[in-house]
Structure 1
């Protein structure tokens, strides 16, 4: 058995590797500057961001297989190399003004790919080393995954104000150093057989990668007395209405969060451009508008990061409380992000001061993190753990299409309101009028998402009552 000190060291190193995994969410803090430097439209910038999300989504199953079959070493090498080379290419594109949209899309895809490979290795390593407290152990690297953007945003605002190229250089250096320092100890787990065989587990066995202290073999809560649809997968899963309700809800919640994360930089730019004034007092310190915009962008990204982390942790805690203490299904918790996202869409419609945008960023980050913590747990509760990885993989891909639509729609609306300035760059000075039309649409989507959540929860209660009535009346229940 490995010593407690050795296991604790590996856990600590996995936690720090979480910083590397979360750098993808930094994109919105420098995307407007990148677009301006390379003469891209907001629509193009949105496409680049979506390729990063696509890299995370589509490489998840592949990364799991690599970790299960080849160990941590290969996964860490692929992940670290992909991220470093991607940021090097990104810095080179920016510094030399080499405009190539599809190449940048590939670079962001590589960042997402590398993040997934490193994250998969860290999560499995923590879960296997601490089999009795897997939820707590895996929450640590996930926490720094969420806080990564906050860390880098603070560094950027303090040491690289207005210097996008210098900040990208720091990203390359820091990612490389963290990976080189933290990876060797994890790689030794492969070569020294540090992890006992009886505790080895495949990714498909690890359900509580986002929960806090929940036991693996805890019995799922049955939904309002209906027969629990345990161990569903494949075509049986696709024929189940609960799957599609979760699929739609996840797609709506996550895509609205991703749209905000990837476009908040443009929202800040529009609001600051609309409200920025030159100091009248000649003795007052003058800060160029571009510096103010970038600093405010980094503040928003930092707040999103912290709130995302808090949302993940709180969702795990509330999920355990509602299921174990009150014996109620975790699906009820979906009303929290549902109602919360309606509020954030209203805020997006009404906020005109860039400083007030901080509240929207905190709430949006919180509900986004809450969603991505509670959804996989619900998938395991409803459809069982045996095929969890495949089932959650299907549900987890639901945001791809709506996220592309909303983010691309935001870019098109924003571009329609931009004009060419005297300096030869495109700018929108209408404040929230640059993108307000988008939030009218997303507000309607968020309301519909609440109806889907209500159907998922109270529809189950209706079917259970109907089944009980038929049983008492001696009527053969209809085939579901």
Structure 2
């Protein structure tokens, strides 16, 4: 059993490593400038950001296998290579004005994959090192994961305002620096962890945390444990279940709406700033402000979902009813985005979107565990986690196409008219999610 001091060192190291895992959501703070430099359209730029999320989604199962089979060292090293090389590639593209959408997409894909590998290693290390308080131990890396975009965005505003190249270099160097300082403490746990210790960590906890999920409870298994389902459902039975597809649709739509906003808010801020003749520096500062608000609200939303999930569970009520919360919240967020006419008023829409996007990704794994059991949770949630990929691609592509159609030489001077029609589509999408949630809850009530 490691000493208390060594365990604390591991926890601190994992917490700060979590800081480099959330940099992907900074894209909107430099994406518009990168697009101008490389003559990308808004549609191209939006698709580049989306490839980061695709990297996260597709690398999740692989990262879990690497951590389980080869240990923390392999996963951390692969993750660091992915993140550092991704940002270094983007910086080189920017400096050389080397326009290649495929290369830019690959760079963000590497960042997404690297983030997942490091996050998976840190969360499992925390769970193994603190077997009696896994929820609290995994909460700290998740908190820094959620706040990462805000931390780096503030640093960018203070030291690299107006210089995207220097900011990209800073992201690469800072990520490498955090890895060099913190990773050794986690890597040493490879030798200290026995096979028995590793096997005793339920994969439900780790998969749930990677989602990321449950950053508040000190009893994660109890918090996730539902009123026991009639049977453990997985594989072909899961795919034949109408309730699985209702959850799949709901997750895909709500997450896609949030991701579209996250990767496009930079263009929204730019359009509103240009319409009011703001300076380039002010426009960039507003972009970074929106990223910071999304980051903080995302973190708070996760915490709120965990707390409300525990409360509802303690009252012996089904947590599936909490799916109504992000549906209503994101519906309000779409209306707020449509009503924005000035850059500073975008903050409300960003805060609402960040909060309810985070809430969605925290409450969904709880519901999956409640409905289909815990034995095959990792595989079940992995399937549900793929739901946003295609809806996100459609919505981000739509935003780019609409913005491009109303731009001249890549610049749109019409304010919210540059993109407002997209939010009518996202409003309809959220209404579709509302129907899906209603059917899911009503059929669940009849079943019980």
Return 5+ residue gaps in structure 2 as ranges.
none
Query: d(CA) in 1 for partners of 2:230 and 2:24?
Result: 36
**Match in the other structure for 1:315:** 305
C-alpha displacement at 1:201, in angstroms? 2.4
Structure 2 matches for 1:355-374, cutoff 5 A? 355-374=344-363
Q: Distance in 2 between matches of 1:229 and 1:219?
A: 16
SS in 2 for 1:439: helix
1:215 Cα deviation (Å)?
4.1
Tell me if the contact between 2:226 and 2:369 (Cα under 8 Å) persists in the aligned partners. no
Aligned position for 1:155: 155
Equivalent position of 2:267 in the other structure: 266
Instruction: Write the distance in 1 (CA, Å) between the matches of 2:193 and 2:136.
Output: 23
Q: Match for residue 472 of structure 1? A: none
Contact 2:305 2:362 in 1 (8 A): yes
Instruction: Indicate the residue corresponding to 1:280 in structure 2.
Output: none
Task: Find out whether 1:189 has 2:189 as its counterpart.
Answer: yes
SS of the aligned residue for 1:256 comes to helix
Shift of 1:406: 0.3
Match of 1:231, SS state, is coil
**Aligned counterpart, 1:298:** 288
The alignment of Structure 1 onto Structure 2 pairs a total of residues equal to 443
1:233-312 matches, cutoff 5 A: 233-276=234-277, 289-312=279-302
Counterpart among 366, 373, 381 of residue 377 in structure 1:
366
Higher helix share: 2
CA RMSD in angstroms comes to 1.6
SS in 2 for 1:356: helix
8 Å contact 1:230–1:382 — kept in the other structure? no
Deviates more, 1:190-199 or 1:296-305: 190-199
Contact 2:297–2:355 (Cα < 8 Å) also in 1: yes
Q: Distance between the aligned counterparts of 1:198 and 1:100, measured in 2?
A: 43
Q: Whole-Å Cα distance in 1 between the matches of residues 415 and 375 of structure 2?
A: 50
Residue in 1 that maps onto 2:231: 230
Deviations 1:69-111 (A, max 9, x none): 0000000000001111111111000011011110111111000
- Following superposition, the deviation at residue 230 of structure 1 comes to 3.3
Match of residue 469 from structure 1: none
Q: Does 1:15 align with 2:12?
A: no
Deviation at 1:6, TM superposition (A): 1.2
Q: Does 1:135 align with 2:135?
A: yes
Partner of 1:475: none
1:166 partnered with 2:166: yes
Aligned with residue 377 of structure 2, among 377, 388, 398: 388
Q: What's the CA shift string for 1:199-222, capped at 9, x where partnerless?
A: 742635645522222342568444
Maintained 8 Å contact 2:17/2:141? yes
Unaligned 5+ segments in structure 1 are 278-288, 421-425, 465-480
1:397 is matched with which residue: 373, 386, 389? 386
Following superposition, the deviation at residue 258 of structure 1 comes to 0.1
Q: How far, CA to CA, are the matches of 1:329 and 1:411 in structure 2? A: 39
Write the distance in 1 (CA, Å) between the matches of 2:94 and 2:330.
35
Cα distance in 2 for partners of 1:199, 1:62 equals: 18
Deviation at 1:198, TM superposition (A): 7.1
1:448 pairs with 2:432: yes
Q: Deviations over 1:12-36 (max 9, x none)?
A: 1101001110010001110000000
Q: Distance in 1 between matches of 2:291 and 2:387?
A: 24
Question: Retained in 2: the 8 A contact 1:128–1:199?
Answer: no
Compute the TM-score of the two structures, normalised by the length of structure 2: 0.96
